[in-house]
A and B are shown apart, each in its own frame.
Chain A
Amino acid sequence: MDLTEFKTIIKKIRPGLIFFCGLLYLACTQKVETRAQLEWEEGRAVSVVWSGESQPTVYLAGSRSQEVLGRWEATSEGHRFIPLTGFSGGLTYYLVEANGDSTALDVPLADERLKPSVLAVYPTTDSLPSNLLKMYLKFSVPMQHAGHPLDHIRVRDVTSDSLVHPFLRLETGLWNAEQTILTLWLDPGRIKTDLIPNRELGIPLVPGHRYRMELDGNLRSASGQAVEQTVLKEWTAGTPDRIKPDPYRWEIRVPDARTLAPLELHFGESLDAVLLAESFRLQGPDGQAVNGEWEIGSLETVMAFTPSTSWIKGEYTLQIQSLLEDMAGNNLNRLFDSDVQEAGHSAAVETVSLSFTLP
């Protein structure tokens, strides 16, 4: 081809050529960017994958004298850094390489859907014995482990318009394994007659007084979000409960055979909500455990059992753990507050059995 034809071709492909040259230039001069990619588990940032070749040191923004502790492992995409206790939402970290290059890592705040709320406060009834032993708070998500929950719970004696401190402050809050149920003990030193705290500070709840439990807005979930509810419960303190629960006085409503109607136990008083869930075993006429679901009802005064398959006729045995307590901590064997010098303890039993027949 001659020069004129060549020039024409170049003119036509010039934009494409410029584009191609630009691309080549960028590819030849731009460093390959290394990225830090967070990995999440149940709403928490638990590790970061670093696509660079080195293993940088990780620091919390603002702290260069102490590195974040954790371990590195190789992955197909580079290396993964797993800090000992995860990354915290709302904070910035720096991954500093040996040559001094520093990459910022911003960790976003936790998922809004994990906002915590109080699902229930037990006992649910609003008339509690003045020698109440325990209360339970049930939360919708796992709650914080650092700090003490009692720092954020207030109880007000509405009748005398004063703040009271009825709960026992132990080393840690007493949580269940999932950190969703908090057990609050009322101070037994004050409940038990004649102990120093009882003589000085009196019983935690005064009969006839009205009380209100509130949160201060700073009780947080494991992901760092605060419970928004303020008033949790109001109740009136009644007379002390000094009677052990007696299964032989419970009303048992026996369903008909060949139905799925529930078996009902009526206690005549509110019992401990958490212990209720684990205190009963029902054995059928064949000697085997009956499959079904227990449900607590009516302010913890009733337990209902609905079988998975229809009832069959015959004799049933209900075994009740003697550790089951009423609201004052009296279990099937003993009163919580007992005078050892009075008539001696009767023999303790591990379970109480009740039998009934399904017609």
Chain B
Amino acid sequence: MATTEIPYLIGAKTITSMKRVTRIAFLLVLVAVFTAAAPEPVPLLSSELTAGMEVGTPEVGSMDKLAFGPEGILFIGDSKKAKVLAVDTRDNESRSEGAELNLEDFDGKLAAALGTTPDQVEVKDLAVNPVSKNVYLSVSTMGGQSALLRLKGETLEAVPLSEVPFSEIELQDAIGADAEDGRGRPLRVWAISDLMFHNGKVLVSGLSNKEFGSTFRSIPFPFESSQTYASLEIWHAAHGQYETHAPIKTFTVTRIAERDYLLASYTCTPLVLFPLDELKAGEHRKGRTVAELGAGNSPLDMAWIEKDGKKYFLMSNSNRPVMRIPYEAIATTQNNMTEPVEEFAVSDGLDYVSVPMVHVLQMDVLDAGQLVYLQRMANGDLVLRTRSFQWI
């Protein structure tokens, strides 16, 4: 149509009618603008930790659990595809403090970022990059998609997952054939309950939709495809004679008397200690129950904080306030509980303090003095806040 052609004609006429010098200058400016706007080249992968990573676009089933390793490497627990991904976020600008936050109507904000309504989104996990202090979130929508987001000031941005350096490892059974249906599709999926990087290994707990047990894996990182890894059943005998295959809900690692211990909490909410160096592939190992924190509750997240020179353990719960236990109490306890607690919902073993923070859905340490957490308020509002350790 004549109308759309006219502007171009004018432009062409303009350029051709310019004086030669002006035209060259104009073109040089154009070149300068385009090269300045060109994307930065991908930095060379130089760290040992990124050895074995290739640049590409990982295939993601669901992003359920997040955990940071060093140097901005993010581990993602993918329950749907039963694997763990390691992505180099390249978010490596070092900061000593994280930004204070008090974001209200956070589910409204998440919904707006994903173009949907608050009832269709769910935050699966929250993790802070210890280098940059940026807050990362994995979010799932009703339609079955997962998104990895990051807070930039008070707005949300997508974390790039295409053409990024990454590696991955599958969580299939190391022993025996992988189960497949008649058409050769693998049937086993996991509900990954917790994920952590510690001392060169990725630790994963979870529950398969098939068997009840075998829920803890310790996988050396960088991942190697042919590597076998310790896959074991940890159980607690808080009740005398009966063995259980209960899945770990959340765990952390703590150092006591120069030995690393796994501190785990189960669906029946005891708190169990287990020496990490005793984990051996294919073996059953018994942990030491140091506390029974009451039935009718499910532990959600664990964190370690330090204030006034003392270290504390924090645990958020589905049906209790955040609990705080001094590290000293855990390190020195001789508790080895084998007798059941008599009264319903009463706790026993290690003493804890109930911090006045309830309905904390997600929690992580932000920096040396603050916690960042997602909380459902009494009026239904979802807030993302930071809080100084002084008030915890």
Name A residues whose Cβ lies closer than 8 Å to a Cβ of B. 27-28, 30, 32, 44, 58-60, 63, 65-71, 83-88, 91, 93, 133, 142, 144-147, 168-172, 174-177, 179, 183, 185, 188-189, 192-197, 199-201, 220, 222-224, 274-275, 277-278, 293-294, 321, 323, 329, 331, 336-341, 350
B109 within 8 A of A: yes
Contacting pair B143 A274 (CB below 8 A): no
Asked if A200 meets B344 with Cβ closer than 8 Å, knowing A28-B2, A224-B142, the reply is yes
* Nearest A residue to B154, CB-CB: A65
* Nearest B residue to A338, CB-CB: B243
Contact residues in B for A70 (Cβ distance below 8 Å): 158
Contacting pair A177 B81 (CB below 8 A): yes
A323 to B188, CA, bound (A): 13
A91 to B116, CA, bound (A): 8
- How close is B10's CB to chain A, nearest CB, in angstroms? 15
Contact residues in A for B244 (Cβ distance below 8 Å): 188-189, 192, 195
B117 within 8 A of A: yes
A325 to B110, CA, bound (A): 42
Asked if A278 meets B81 with Cβ closer than 8 Å, knowing A66-B112, A196-B340, the reply is no
A133 to B207, CA, bound (A): 14
Contacting pair B143 A85 (CB below 8 A): yes
Segment with Cβ contacts to A, from B33-41, B224-232, B234-242, B302-310:
B234-242
Contact residues in A for B157 (Cβ distance below 8 Å): 69
Q: Top 8 A-B pairs ranked by shortest CB distance?
A: A63-B112, A68-B115, A66-B112, A85-B145, A146-B122, A88-B116, A278-B179, A146-B142
A163 to B3, CA, bound (A): 71
Asked if A177 meets B156 with Cβ closer than 8 Å, knowing A93-B115, A185-B212, A274-B210, the reply is no
Contact residues in A for B111 (Cβ distance below 8 Å): 60, 63
- One digit per residue, 1 when the CB lies within 8 angstroms of any chain A CB and 0 when it does not, for chain B 95-116 equals 0000000000000110111111
- One digit per residue, 1 when the CB lies within 8 angstroms of any chain A CB and 0 when it does not, for chain B 244-275 equals 11110100000000000000000110000000
* Nearest B residue to A224, CB-CB: B142
Contacting pair A83 B114 (CB below 8 A): yes
Contacting pair A85 B182 (CB below 8 A): no
B276 within 8 A of A: no
Contacting pair B115 A91 (CB below 8 A): yes
A266 to B81, CA, bound (A): 34
Asked if A340 meets B3 with Cβ closer than 8 Å, knowing A224-B142, A277-B182, the reply is no
B203 within 8 A of A: no
**A-facing residues in B57-108 (Cβ within 8 Å):** 61-62, 64, 79-81, 108
Most A CB contacts (10 A, CB to CB) among B144, B187, B191 go to B144
Contacting pair B207 A170 (CB below 8 A): yes
- How close is B159's CB to chain A, nearest CB, in angstroms? 10
A142 to B179, CA, bound (A): 21
Contacting pair A88 B115 (CB below 8 A): yes
A32 to B149, CA, bound (A): 37
Please tell me which one of the listed residues B121, B176, B209, B267 contacts residue A174 in the complex, with CB atoms under 8 A apart: B209
- One digit per residue, 1 when the CB lies within 8 angstroms of any chain A CB and 0 when it does not, for chain B 20-47 equals 0000000000000000000000000000
Please tell me which one of the listed residues B140, B175, B181 contacts residue A145 in the complex, with CB atoms under 8 A apart: B140
* Nearest B residue to A322, CB-CB: B176
Please tell me which one of the listed residues A63, A169, A185, A293 contacts residue B108 in the complex, with CB atoms under 8 A apart: A63
Contact residues in A for B81 (Cβ distance below 8 Å): 177
Please tell me which one of the listed residues B112, B179, B249 contacts residue A60 in the complex, with CB atoms under 8 A apart: B112
Contacting pair B189 A177 (CB below 8 A): yes
Given A27-B1, A201-B295, 20 other A-B residues pairs in contact with their CB atoms under 8 A: A28-B3, A63-B111, A69-B157, A69-B158, A70-B158, A85-B114, A85-B116, A86-B141, A91-B115, A145-B141, A146-B142, A174-B191, A179-B144, A188-B246, A194-B340, A223-B143, A274-B210, A275-B210, A331-B211, A350-B176
**A-facing residues in B315-358 (Cβ within 8 Å):** 340-341, 344
Q: What are 23 A-B residue pairs whose CB atoms fall within 8 Å in the complex?
A: A32-B3, A68-B114, A83-B114, A85-B114, A85-B143, A85-B145, A86-B143, A88-B143, A145-B143, A146-B119, A146-B140, A147-B122, A168-B267, A171-B64, A172-B124, A174-B189, A175-B209, A179-B144, A194-B241, A195-B268, A199-B340, A220-B142, A278-B180
Name B residues whose Cβ lies closer than 8 Å to a Cβ of A. 1-4, 61-62, 64, 79-81, 108-109, 111-117, 119-122, 124, 140-147, 149, 155-158, 175-176, 179-182, 185-187, 189, 191, 193, 207, 209-212, 238-247, 249, 267-268, 292, 295, 298, 340-341, 344
A44 to B61, CA, bound (A): 17
Contacting pair A85 B115 (CB below 8 A): yes
Most B CB contacts (10 A, CB to CB) among A67, A201, A350 go to A67
Contacting pair A66 B155 (CB below 8 A): yes
- How close is A7's CB to chain B, nearest CB, in angstroms? 30
A67 to B243, CA, bound (A): 52
Contacting pair B240 A145 (CB below 8 A): no
Please tell me which one of the listed residues B1, B141, B181, B246 contacts residue A278 in the complex, with CB atoms under 8 A apart: B181
* Nearest A residue to B185, CB-CB: A177
- How close is B136's CB to chain A, nearest CB, in angstroms? 14
Please tell me which one of the listed residues A91, A177, A274 contacts residue B61 in the complex, with CB atoms under 8 A apart: A177
Contacting pair B187 A277 (CB below 8 A): yes
Please tell me which one of the listed residues B175, B209, B212, B295 contacts residue A176 in the complex, with CB atoms under 8 A apart: B209
Contact residues in A for B145 (Cβ distance below 8 Å): 84-86, 145
- How close is A172's CB to chain B, nearest CB, in angstroms? 5
Contacting pair B122 A277 (CB below 8 A): no
Asked if A44 meets B181 with Cβ closer than 8 Å, knowing A66-B113, A83-B114, the reply is no
Contacting pair B120 A196 (CB below 8 A): no
Please tell me which one of the listed residues A69, A176, A341 contacts residue B187 in the complex, with CB atoms under 8 A apart: A176
Contacting pair B242 A193 (CB below 8 A): yes
A172 to B78, CA, bound (A): 12
Contact residues in A for B112 (Cβ distance below 8 Å): 59-60, 63, 65-68
A143 to B120, CA, bound (A): 12
A224 to B142, CA, bound (A): 7
* Nearest A residue to B243, CB-CB: A340
- How close is B172's CB to chain A, nearest CB, in angstroms? 13
A90 to B81, CA, bound (A): 30
Contacting pair A188 B245 (CB below 8 A): yes
A199 to B191, CA, bound (A): 27
Contact residues in A for B249 (Cβ distance below 8 Å): 171
Contacting pair A222 B143 (CB below 8 A): yes
- How close is A52's CB to chain B, nearest CB, in angstroms? 12
Contact residues in B for A193 (Cβ distance below 8 Å): 242
- How close is A54's CB to chain B, nearest CB, in angstroms? 15
A141 to B372, CA, bound (A): 38
